[in-house]
Amino acid sequence: RKGQSIEKALSIFKRKVKQSGMMLELRERSYYRKKSDLLRERKKKAILRNKYKVLKEKE
Nearest-angstrom CA–CA distance, 38 and 22: 19
Name the H helices within the chain.
6-20, 22-28, 35-58
The backbone torsions φ and ψ at residue 3, rounded to the nearest 5 degrees and listed phi first, read: 80, 5
pLDDT attached to residue 1: 67
Q: How does residue 2 score in pLDDT terms, banded at 50, 70 and 90?
A: confident
pTM tops 0.85, yes or no: no
Q: How does residue 15 score in pLDDT terms, banded at 50, 70 and 90?
A: very high
pLDDT in tens, 22-53: 999 999 899 999 999 999 999 999 999 999 99
Report in angstroms the alpha-carbon separations of 28 from 55, 56, 57.
30, 30, 32
